[in-house]
Amino acid sequence: MANRKTIDARGSFCPGPLMELIAGMKMIAIGDEIEILSSDKGSANEIPEWLRKAKHEHLGTEEKDGVWHVLARKTH
Amino acid sequence: MKILIVGGGMGGTILANNLARRLTTELRSGKVRMTMLTASDRHMYQPGLLYLAIGRMTPEELYRDQASLLEPGIDLHVDPAEEFRLDKNEVKTKSGKVHGYDVLAIATGARPTPEEIPGLAENSEQFYTEETAVRMFKRLQAFQGGKIVVAMGVPHKCPMAPLEIIFMMHDYFRDRGILDKVKLHYTYPIGRVHTLENVAKWAAPEMDRLGITYETMFNVKEVDGAKKVVRSEEGSETDYDLLVSIPAHRGMEVIEKNNLGQRGWIPTHRHTLNMEGRSNVFVLGDTTNLPISKAGSTAHFEAEVIGENIAALVRLGAPVREYDGKVFCFIEAGKDRATYAMFDYQNPPQPRAPTRAVHWFKVAYNKLYWASARGLL
Ligand SMILES: Cc1cc2nc3c(=O)[nH]c(=O)nc-3n(C[C@H](O)[C@H](O)[C@H](O)COP(=O)(O)OP(=O)(O)OC[C@H]3O[C@@H](n4cnc5c(N)ncnc54)[C@H](O)[C@@H]3O)c2cc1C
């Protein structure tokens, strides 16, 4: 099973959840996953767009009690 | 009680002075001992590097002797930490000395790592160290026209610096009267020109107005110095005559070597600022893994919370305050206008249009910093 790293970016306005994800991608191996937590819906929405553009995989987004959990897999 | 502070930069210095003021009596009586380990006998005001790169400050203006910034009662050793033995409450230094502690604070900062991107270190100008900022200024001075590209890595210290440098370069070339020969091109890793939405909303039309072009969703993958092209992870490329980069950062090597945190970022509790799992170890400044700006103001606000809590540990045996994620950043919008952003974990920033007054306040702060580091502001 792939390793999964969680990044808690709740309450992050600057640099913000997407920037945390981009930085986090450097910490994991190809095939591994990152779950990023965001308390801001707008930033949760930007993440899939970047994943598509950077050709990583978006495994899903789920909202639990006002926190968005976005799951991504590093593909290259 | 033995307090050990590792790192004599913004966070470490403000914390040490804050504690020295709170615990004057205990330090005098010997009930408390405070030691600082640092890597340099000089203290650099890093925000000044931005002005150095554009010829508006000189290197000597950036430094003070570290010892001159510290309150009496702080035992300063310019002897960097090499081994963190957290299970034994000890730190061993380069000279071989072992310092025991009851409470440890780590504020070793972060370092730019341009070498991680192929071609970046050799083919770009940077302003994150004195040497590179001086070199960048000389390149700007010699520049007679062509395309300047600004590109950055993530994470980096001072998230406002990319915008500031592009606007400051614009005014620099306008003042030299060669703006019509210079094309400024800005790139940014996410889908707008700055991570703060309100800042991006103000900065993008400002760039349009000034003729600065930009490309978003641009994460540098490699630089081809022979062809003078930067390529992005997202598959695009842009050519340049002069490349200015803000490299991605890591925490210090000593943090990585001691397995305190991946890429040098120490897992830190967002409210208590304790290293995760260690109630007698505090972390502040750039080396935390917190999802907030790596900025001097962050280190400053964290130092105040940790100072209050360590003093409470001495006097009450328990901490009394939590960090709320507060950050304050100035944003230079050219050579004579600036704005600012203030926010915390709960409240997003609402920056206003830049004004001259805020710019002059930042210029004043460049001098007032020394009073702030001493704990006088
Ligand atoms: C170009 C630039 C512009 C900036 N502009 C702004 C701005 O406008 N506003 C703002 O708020 N912030 C700004 N910053 C960011 C700010 O300078 C940093 O966020 C701040 O200095 C972080 O403080 P720190 O204590 O974590 O680290 P630092 O201030 O970097 O201090 C780290 C300290 O650790 C010491 N050290 C290193 N290794 C060891 C070791 N092994 N043992 C013991 N000590 C060690 C070093 O000697 C140093 O004293 C800017 C930074 C740069 C580079």
Cα B141 to ligand 1 centre (Å): 27
DSSP B41: S
Angle between helix A17-25 and A41-53 (nearest 10) = 40
At residue A52, the pLDDT reads 96
* Beta-carbon-side half-sphere exposure of residue A5 (alpha carbons within 13 Å): 20
Q: B259, B274, B266, B332: which is closest to B305 by C-alpha?
A: B274
pLDDT at position B255 is: 98
pLDDT digits (tens, 9 = 90+) for B41-99: 999 999 999 999 999 999 999 999 999 999 999 999 999 999 999 999 999 999 999 99
Backbone angles phi, psi at B260, to 5 degrees: -85, -20
Spatial contact of B151 and B230, defined as CB atoms under 8 Å apart: yes
Provide the pLDDT for residue B183: 98
Question: pLDDT confidence of B353, banded at 50, 70, 90?
Answer: confident
How far apart CA B347 and CA B142 sit, in angstroms, is 44
Give the atom of ligand 1 at the shortest distance from the alpha carbon of B284.
Answer: 26
Q: Could A50 and B154 be called an inter-chain contact, meaning their C-beta atoms sit closer than 8 Å?
A: no
The full DSSP string for B253-277 is HHHHHTTSSGGGPBPB-TTT-BBTT
Whole-number Å distance between alpha carbons of B339 and B353: 6
Structure tokens at B22: 């709170």
Distance of CA B12 from the midpoint of ligand 1 (Å): 9
Q: Which of B14, B17, B38 to mutate to test the pocket of ligand 1 (most atoms within 8 A of CB)?
A: B38
Q: pLDDT-derived band of residue A55, with 50, 70 and 90 as boundaries?
A: very high
**pLDDT-based confidence at A43, cuts 50/70/90?**
confident
Known catalytic residue at A14:
yes
Contact B260, B274 (CB under 8 A): no
Please determine, for residue B377, whether its predicted confidence score (pLDDT) is greater than 80: no
The confidence score (pLDDT) of residue B350 equals 86
By Cβ distance, the residue of B155, B233, B327 closest to A23 is B155
Q: Check residue A44 and give its pLDDT.
A: 87
Which residues are registered as beta bridge partners of B224? B229
Does the domain formed by A4-73 have CATH 3.30.360.10?
no
Of B196, B263, B270, the CB nearest to A14: B196
Amino acid at B372: S
Across chain B, what does the average pLDDT equal? Answer: 97
Q: What is the mean pLDDT of residues B192-219?
A: 95
Nearest-by-Cβ selection for B159 from A14, A17, A26: A14
Could you tell me the domains of chain B? 2-109+252-326 (3.50.50.60), 114-248 (3.50.50.60)
Pairing verdict, β B90-93 and B81-85: antiparallel
Q: CA–CA separation, B181 vs B184, rounded Å?
A: 10
Q: Are the Cβ atoms of B219 and A7 closer than 8 angstroms?
A: no
- Looking at residue B288, its pLDDT comes to 98
* Gap from CA of B268 to ligand 1 centroid (Å): 18
Residues B155, B219: contact at Cβ < 8 Å? no
B352: tokens are 């206003």
**From B38, B46, B167, mutation site for ligand 1 pocket: most ligand atoms within 8 A of C-beta:** B46
| pLDDT level of residue A1 (50, 70, 90 thresholds) | confident
- pLDDT tens, residue by residue, B263-289: 999 999 999 999 999 999 999 999 999
* C-alpha span between B110 and B54 (Å, rounded): 23
B345 CA to chain A: closest CA distance, Å? 4
pLDDT surpassing 90 at residue B151: yes
pLDDT digits (tens, 9 = 90+) for B208-256: 999 999 999 999 999 999 999 999 999 999 999 999 999 999 999 999 9
* Chain segment B282-320, per-residue pLDDT in tens: 999 999 999 999 999 999 999 999 999 999 999 999 999
Q: Give, for B152, the enclosing helix (H) or strand (E).
A: strand B146-152
User: Are B233 and A54 within 8 A, CB to CB?
Assistant: yes
Contact B369, B17 (CB under 8 A): no
| CA–CA min distance B356, chain A (Å) | 24
pLDDT tier at B375 (50, 70, 90 boundaries)? confident
Residue B292 has what pLDDT? 96
Q: Which two tokens stand for residue B73?
A: 């009662």
Bridge-partner residues for B329, per DSSP?
A: B341
Among B129, B148, B179, B128, which residue's Cα sits nearest to residue B243?
B148
Cβ separation of B154 and A23 shorter than 8 Å? yes
Choice among A7, A10, A13, A14 that is catalytic = A14
Q: Residue B280: left (phi > 0), alpha (psi -120 to 50), or beta? A: alpha
Asked if B214 and B204 touch (Cβ cutoff 8 Å), the reply is yes
Task: For residue A27, list chain B residues with Cβ-Cβ distance below 8 A.
Answer: 262-263
ipTM of the complex: 0.95
